Amino acid sequence: MPLIHVSLFEGRTIEQKREFAVAVTADAVRTLKCTAESVDVIFEDVKKSDWATGGKLASDPK
């Protein structure tokens, strides 16, 4: 059973997450030769103040 964990900045719509889940599931089925029912996708919404890249918070001014 593939489990795909997706961390995103908060603010994506349900429709965007649904479309992404459908696309990722289809690719997992094609690539891993599994059933769609065996693919789980978990979304984690993250605040920009809780995500840092290169030592800088995403919420910091650019």
HEC states along 24-57?
HHHHHHHHHCCCHHHCEEEEEEECHHHCEECCEE
Q: With beta carbons less than 8 A apart as the criterion, state whether 39 and 29 touch.
A: yes
Question: Is 2 part of the annotated catalytic residue set?
Answer: yes
Catalytic residue among 2, 4, 6, 24: 2
Q: Which residues form the catalytic set?
A: 2
